[in-house]
Amino acid sequence: MQASGQSPTPLPVSAPRVAVLDSAAHVGSVSAWKRARTSIIKARWPLFALIILTFMLFLALFGPSIAPKDPNRNSLIERLMPPFQVNEETGRMEFLLGTDALGRDIYSRIIYGARISIFVGVAAVIVGGFVGTLAGLIAGYYGGVIDDVIMRLADIQLAFPFILLTIMVLVVLGAGVGNLIIVLAIGQWVTYARIVRGTTISQREKEYVEAARCLGASSLRIIAVQIFPNVVAPLTVIASFNVASVILTEASLSFLGLGVPPTVPTWGGILAESRDQLLGGSWWLAVFPGVAIMLTVLSLNILGDWLRDFLDPRLRDR
Amino acid sequence: MARTRFLIVVVLALLAFVLPASAQTPDDTTLVIAQSVDVGALEPALVGSRAESNIFGHVFGTLYEITETGVLSPYLATGYTISEDGTEWTFTLNEGLTCHDGEALTAEDVAYTFTRAADPANAFTGNTVGFVLPSAGYVDARADSELEVTIVTDRAQSESLRLGLLSEVYIHCKDYYEATDVATVAENPIGSGTYRFVEWVRDDYVLIEKVEGFTLRDAVFNQIYWRVIPEASTRVAELIAGNVDVIANVPPDQVDAVNNSGVAMVQGVAGTRRMYVGFQFGEAFADAPGYEPIQNTDVRVALQYAVDVPTICATLLGTECTRAASMVNDPNSNPNLTPYPYDPAEAERLLDEAGYPRGDNGIRFEITMMGPRGRYLNDANVVQALAQYLTDVGVQTTVDIRDWSSDYLPLVRAKEIGPLFFLGTGGSTWSALYDMADLSAPDAGTNYTNWANEEWFSLWDQTAGLDPAAESAVKDQMLEVFYNDPPWLLLYFQPDFYGVSDRLNWQARRDEKIVMYGATLNP
Amino acid sequence: MWIYIARRLAQSIIVILGVTVLAFLTLHLAGDPTYLYVSERASEEEITDARQRLGFDRPLGEQYLRYIGGLLQGDFGTSLRARKPAIDLVLERLPATLELTFFALILSLTLAIPIGIISAMRRGTAVDGGVMLLAMLGQSIPGFWLGLMLVLFVGLQLRFLPISGHVPFLQPLLDGDINTALTNLPQTIRHLILPGITVGVFSLSRNARLVRSSMLEVLSLDYIQTARSKGLPERAVVLRHALRNALIPIVTLVGLEFGFLLSGVVIAETIFSWPGVGRLVFNAINQRDIPLVQTAVVLFSFMFVGLNLIVDLIYAQLDPRIRLN
């Protein structure tokens, strides 16, 4: 099942973008955007994926202003109401997607949930990505003992069953959004570190790097200017897959009781809360958050796939 | 190559479909019960949860036994006498008792059971050592003759209370337990009750089988499987599928599914577990927001009116209920006390009078309510609902929900919960004082609120050695004190939902114990 | 080759040591561990005595060395709740989890390979698109949701597969009781199907996509064109020439796969009441049964590292460039 952090598919080698002159790079990237646009429109699925993701992002950013109700306001009298019911007095649909076991509006909770789930996903990937990239760059560039140490640390973490690590850290640190992000980030960094390290190693032997060194450029400059830009492409691909995987992992953790506290709505949490109502026929409790998760994760996967194909020079002719 | 492999898998899979399910199925002589947790160990002195006590109740005998109706009836013992000063209780045992390995069960074994449990070198935790023995004032046990055993305590105590407590000790023989190491004994118990232990597959099931010739109790089924199914939906599904006869803890929202299945019904019983929100009086929380207001009796009384307990019962607990008027289960409560009604207007008025008016933002004061998740029926939801009720009368309540076993329970034990906290403690049907023993002393381990009402505790000391009528009068007085200076936000007695297969004729008990002696097959 | 083996072995040892350090630290991160070993009503004096007796008042480094020493002698500590050697508990439950993990792995590989190949061969058609969409979906479903749906629909409505219970196969096999093992096998498989699907769907989907993309890459290589131009039928081209190379990435993943599956197993074991190590350790963590947690962690890591070592050695055998690196 999903243990976040490990790359779901192997990555092809991507062609280096030589960032010698700023203007040249700029020119290069303009045509790249155009190519991207054409490609994505031609392959229809990624376009849908992009639309869905933009919508989810919109929900995440502007959710609180759209959501009709307080997601945490509970009202026992209104519990377990089915969706799409028109309130006789007001003539409107009071609870668009129904209410949950505490009478909270599912629609509002899903909107707020978008915010937290996506925030947690993105934050975990950014933190993990940052740490991992740094580790990978350093390990790849300097090699030797530093490389060994970092790689051993990575191995040690991989050897530790991820879910056990997560549970242990959460039990010790306590539940909460911040700790959750930390834990999920810990699960991520190894993937980034490995890929970045691989790319860095293959880049550092190139002539232009030699040239820069001869010209007296410091290691930091070389890493930042020469090597890092080449690492960005594979990173974005992994990042998109990993956001998907983190969202799924958060759902699993909520199921095990380790996610965010019940007052913080996340898609995984709402889905997990539905488990005692399933046999009772309250299908909307599981279907709506489930669909939200699946659509988002699916879109991220499709987009990631497209990104990988798009950035792979060998497939460019297809 | 790949195809042949594929075909083999398909054939095996088809074979698998054709066969009926095997593991542990119910039949005419086999009963299958599903609980949500496994036993930790089959060590009679280590009772960690109902999972253990349910099984031990069948495998081991006790001195007396509490029946469904709350009566204490003799079991391994035939009677008892109490010394003049009330500190020594001498039980007389039945003749001819044996343990399942053939060893004769005499007074020596009973004494050994007690001393072994209390021995600090064994470091037993759990109900027996942590609650029963200290509450009964246990000091020592000795065999006076072959069939007479004396339990020595440090004080006189209410007769029914002490008898009930001592009846929670599971009696076993000395030879086997003395000669065998702790680890082996924890997996291979030798009992003294109606059923003998057969097999334990950890986290899967425990199998016990009827002891032929055991005369003290009747048992119908030859074999009982106690299965472990942690996920509630799976438990219910197995009940409906006919693979399990009795399940505990049916989620309220799935009760209808069971009742409509045509193969099983849900028995909802009024449980004895007292659910409450405690007000923390301990100094440790002096700086917490909301601490000061709740030190004020008038505030605590006001808050009683703020919550709608019957609605919580009806919606979140799937049952009709009357709010608890005291901490004592019926029929032992004070009949003159009526439960606080749901009257938010009254709550608001009393809070105003107490000196906590609504501010410009509508808030009187802020407070945090701590609660567990995954221990009590719908606990997390009940806590959130309660918080909403309090917030609605102007007491802005933040909810802090923790996982039960890893987080909340240690805090409870250390009394580091508050200013408000949601909790439930087990009660009884046979003794008011048992229910009140939570607050037996200001520093009692179970006085989680650190309540120190002088009147209550001086009255408690008076209850030792009274005859039942006098004891009842003092008890009523105490409960009135409790009512007027409440350390608890009185809520409800937790209902229990048991799913019972239609093939079984069996009545669930109120005290959370699953006892199968009386179970028979429906014709 | 030997240098490579030696190097990998040394690395593996370091990793296992690192894991033990991590596992050891968890005991102390959770606070003074003495409280876990004494009765709730212990007095201050009893607690201090216990602390001395158990050695928790010594410096951390010394405690760690003592812990490692114990491990090397096979003493993994005693479970607090069960009062039994932790290693015995873990080994007792391991076969059940291995049955589940291997079943999921076999399910995933036996289905993923043909699916991936077919998809690659029919690239661009509706079959390819449909199958790949399903595979994407398989990677997008939260595992516990799938498990619960299986319980409700296959277990309850259709009622032809069991949703809980376990019939042991691996344990009797390991005990040498071949007869029981074989008699149990059909029932074991029957009980394995639903939890196995729950655990395996994600990796099945991922592997199917992997096989497909790997196959496509290999099929575009020159030597394949050569084979085609020689007039070989497509089927032979794919199965005999392309498959071996296309499977190399899968081999690498099998090692990591084991680790993922182990993670997913906790959820399946909870939903289907499978008496495996996942649930054992999950409960142990919640109950702060530290010795049991440590033991399980060290054991898993050992298996994981060992498996990866073997996989790497196989890989090195297949691809000489690796060992020369």
User: Is residue C297 in a domain?
Assistant: yes
Contact B185, B174 (CB under 8 A): no
Which residues of chain A lie closer than 8 angstroms to C255, CB-CB? none
> What's the pLDDT at A233?
78
Q: Who wins on pLDDT, A106 or C1?
A: A106
Chain A residue whose CA is closest to C265: A1
B8 CB burial (10 A radius; 0-12, 13-18, 19+): exposed
| Residue showing tokens 């796969």 | C257
In terms of domains, do C127 and C61 share one?
no
Quote the CA–CA distance of B433 and B332 in Å, as a whole number.
Answer: 9
Kind and range of the H or E run holding B367: strand B365-373
In terms of domains, do C247 and C273 share one?
yes
| Residue showing tokens 């196989």 | C314
C-alpha distance from residue B452 to each of B157, B279, B295, B449, C278 (Å): 21, 12, 11, 9, 45
Dump the DSSP string for B258-282: HHTSSSEEEEEEEEEEEEEEEEP--
Contact A241, A307 (CB under 8 A): no
Quote the CA–CA distance of C197 and A110 in Å, as a whole number.
Answer: 28
What's the mean pLDDT in A203-220? 76
C-alpha distance from residue A265 to each of A72, A114, A259, B288, C206 (Å): 8, 9, 10, 26, 29
Q: Determine, for residues B254 and A263 on separate chains, whether the beta-carbon distance falls below 8 Å.
A: no
Confirm or reject contact between B230 and chain C (CB < 8 A). Answer: yes
Confirm or reject contact between B183 and chain C (CB < 8 A). Answer: yes
| Residue showing tokens 């990555």 | A11
Contact B237, B499 (CB under 8 A): no
Position A18 pLDDT exceeds 60:
no
Position A163 pLDDT exceeds 80:
no
User: Is residue A9 in a domain?
Assistant: no
Probe site for chain B from C190, C271, C277 (most B CB atoms < 10 A): C190
Probe site for chain A from B236, B260, B315 (most A CB atoms < 10 A): B315
Tens of pLDDT, residues B35-64: 988 888 899 998 878 889 999 999 999 999
Interface of A with B in 253-282 (CB under 8 A): 257-258, 261-263, 275-282
Interface of A with C in 4-63 (CB under 8 A): 6, 8-10, 12
Nearest to A43 by CA among C124, C216, C210: C124
Quote the CA–CA distance of C219 and C225 in Å, as a whole number.
Answer: 8
Q: pLDDT tier at A317 (50, 70, 90 boundaries)?
A: very low
What's the mean pLDDT in B17-29? 70
Q: Which domain holds residue A158?
A: 36-75+93-315
pTM (2 d.p.): 0.84
User: Is residue C78 in a domain?
Assistant: no
C-alpha distance from residue B322 to each of A78, B83, B270, C89 (Å): 21, 41, 10, 46
Quote the CA–CA distance of A230 and A237 in Å, as a whole number.
Answer: 13
Nearest to C106 by CA among C245, C203, C4: C203
In terms of domains, do C105 and C158 share one?
yes
> What's the pLDDT at B98?
92
For residue C9, the one-letter residue type is L
Tokens of B83: 């010394």
Contact A269, A259 (CB under 8 A): yes
Domain count, chain C: 2
In terms of domains, do C136 and C182 share one?
yes
Nearest to B34 by CA among B249, B228, B264, B255: B228
Position A27 pLDDT exceeds 50:
no
- Three-state DSSP class for B401? strand
Q: pLDDT tier at B239 (50, 70, 90 boundaries)?
A: very high
- Three-state DSSP class for B287? coil
> What's the pLDDT at B249?
87
What is the C-alpha radius of gyration for chain B, rounded to an integer number of angstroms? 25
Domain count, chain A: 1
Percent of residues, chain A, with pLDDT higher than 70: 88
Tokens of A42: 């031609």
Sheet holding B77-82, edge to edge: B77-82, B88-93, B148-153, B138-143
Probe site for chain A from C20, C36, C145, C295 (most A CB atoms < 10 A): C145
What does residue C84 show for φ and ψ, rounded to 5 degrees? -140, 150
In terms of domains, do C33 and C131 share one?
no
**Cβ-count burial B358-369 (b if 16+ within 10 Å, e if not):** eeeeeebbebbb
Position C321 pLDDT exceeds 70:
no
Chain A residue whose CA is closest to C157: A279
Strand partners of residue A56: none
User: Is residue A88 in a domain?
Assistant: no
Dump the DSSP string for B12-51: HHHHHHHSPP-TT--BTTEEEEEESS--S---TT---SHH
H helix runs in A160-283, sequence order: 162-173, 177-204, 207-214, 219-221, 228-255, 267-273
Chain C residue whose CA is closest to A150: C15
User: Is residue C4 in a domain?
Assistant: no
Query: Looking at residue C312, which CATH number applies to its domain?
Result: 1.10.3720.10
Q: pLDDT tier at A19 (50, 70, 90 boundaries)?
A: very low
Query: Looking at residue A182, which CATH number applies to its domain?
Result: 1.10.3720.10
In terms of domains, do C47 and C101 share one?
no
What's the mean pLDDT in B164-176? 92
> What's the pLDDT at B19?
56
> What's the pLDDT at B8?
67
> What's the pLDDT at B171?
94
Q: pLDDT tier at C41 (50, 70, 90 boundaries)?
A: low
Q: pLDDT tier at A26 (50, 70, 90 boundaries)?
A: very low
Q: Determine, for residues A276 and B257 on separate chains, whether the beta-carbon distance falls below 8 Å.
A: no
Q: pLDDT tier at A1 (50, 70, 90 boundaries)?
A: very low
Which residues of chain C lie closer than 8 angstroms to B186, CB-CB? 82-84
What does residue C191 show for φ and ψ, rounded to 5 degrees? -75, -20
For residue B143, the one-letter residue type is A
Percent of residues, chain A, with pLDDT higher than 90: 9
Quote the CA–CA distance of C103 and C110 in Å, as a whole number.
Answer: 10
Quote the CA–CA distance of B457 and B459 in Å, as a whole number.
Answer: 5
H helix runs in B265-378, sequence order: 291-295, 297-304, 309-316, 344-354
In terms of domains, do C119 and C175 share one?
yes
Tokens of B522: 């429906």
In terms of domains, do C175 and C68 share one?
no
Confirm or reject contact between A146 and chain B (CB < 8 A). Answer: no
Quote the CA–CA distance of C315 and C323 in Å, as a whole number.
Answer: 9
Chain A residue whose CA is closest to C308: A159
> What's the pLDDT at B200?
94
User: Is residue A68 in a domain?
Assistant: yes
Chain B residue whose CA is closest to C49: B121
Dump the DSSP string for A35-74: HHHHHHHHSHHHHHHHHHHHHHHHHHHHHHHH-SS-TT--
Q: Determine, for residues A256 and C262 on separate chains, whether the beta-carbon distance falls below 8 Å.
A: no
Tokens of A31: 């045509």
User: Is residue C45 in a domain?
Assistant: yes
Contact A145, A90 (CB under 8 A): no
User: Is residue A15 in a domain?
Assistant: no
Nearest to B395 by CA among B471, B296, B521: B296
Position B147 pLDDT exceeds 90:
yes
What's the mean pLDDT in C296-323? 77
User: Is residue C169 in a domain?
Assistant: yes
Q: Determine, for residues A162 and C22 on separate chains, whether the beta-carbon distance falls below 8 Å.
A: no
Greatest mean pLDDT range, A25-39, A160-174, B245-259: B245-259
Q: pLDDT tier at B222 (50, 70, 90 boundaries)?
A: very high
C-alpha distance from residue B512 to each of A305, B165, B202, B322 (Å): 54, 16, 23, 19
Using CB atoms, pick whichever of B41, B203, B228 lies closest to residue C83. Answer: B41
Which residues of chain C lie closer than 8 angstroms to A306, CB-CB? none
> What's the pLDDT at B60?
95
Quote the CA–CA distance of C210 and C205 in Å, as a whole number.
Answer: 9
Kind and range of the H or E run holding C207: helix C178-219
Least confident of B346-350, C93-97, C198-202, C236-240: C236-240
Q: Who wins on pLDDT, A199 or A40?
A: A199
Which residues of chain C lie closer than 8 angstroms to A3, CB-CB? 259-260, 263-264
Which residues of chain A lie closer than 8 angstroms to B313, CB-CB? none
C-alpha distance from residue B213 to each of B78, B93, B223, C241 (Å): 19, 18, 15, 74
> What's the pLDDT at C27?
63
Contact C180, C88 (CB under 8 A): no
In 10 A of CB C173, how many CB atoms? Answer: 17
What's the mean pLDDT in B4-15? 65
Q: What is the largest CA-CA distance in chain C?
A: 87
Quote the CA–CA distance of B369 and B417 in Å, as a whole number.
Answer: 9
Q: Who wins on pLDDT, B9 or C288?
A: C288
In terms of domains, do C174 and C203 share one?
yes
Which residues of chain C lie closer than 8 angstroms to A278, CB-CB? 148, 152
Greatest mean pLDDT range, A270-284, C27-41, C264-278: C264-278
Peptide bond into B419 cis (omega under 30): yes
Q: Which domain holds residue C202?
A: 86-324
What's the mean pLDDT in A89-115? 87
User: Is residue A126 in a domain?
Assistant: yes
Position B191 pLDDT exceeds 50:
yes
In terms of domains, do C154 and C290 share one?
yes
Chain A residue whose CA is closest to B388: A74
Q: pLDDT tier at A12 (50, 70, 90 boundaries)?
A: very low
In terms of domains, do C101 and C238 share one?
yes
Contact B292, B459 (CB under 8 A): no
A229 CB burial (10 A radius; 0-12, 13-18, 19+): middle
Which residues of chain B lie closer than 8 angstroms to C46, CB-CB? 120
Contact B332, B160 (CB under 8 A): no
DSSP state of C274: -
**What is the sign of the dihedral through the CA atoms of A26, A29, A31 and A37?**
negative
What's the mean pLDDT in B63-91? 90
Peptide bond into B331 cis (omega under 30): yes
C-alpha distance from residue B19 to each of B27, B431, C165, C183 (Å): 17, 52, 15, 12
The neighbours of chain C, by the rule of 3 or more Cβ pairs under 8 Å, are: A, B
Which residues of chain B lie closer than 8 angstroms to C93, CB-CB? 202-203
User: Is residue C81 in a domain?
Assistant: no
C-alpha distance from residue A280 to each of A283, B46, B177, B233, B238 (Å): 8, 37, 48, 10, 15
> What's the pLDDT at A28?
47
Position A147 pLDDT exceeds 50:
yes
Q: Determine, for residues B232 and A101 on separate chains, whether the beta-carbon distance falls below 8 Å.
A: no
Tens of pLDDT, residues C231-259: 777 777 767 767 777 776 676 666 667 76
In angstroms, how far is the first alpha carbon of chain A from the final one? Answer: 33
Position B92 pLDDT exceeds 50:
yes
Q: Determine, for residues A158 and C30 on separate chains, whether the beta-carbon distance falls below 8 Å.
A: no
Minimal C-alpha gap between B233 and chain C (Å): 8
Minimal C-alpha gap between C126 and chain B (Å): 23
**Spatial CB neighbours of B56, under 8 Å, sequence gap ≥ 6:** B44, B47, B170, B191
What is the C-alpha radius of gyration for chain C, rounded to an integer number of angstroms? 24
In terms of domains, do C152 and C301 share one?
yes
Nearest to C254 by CA among C112, C92, C141, C97: C112
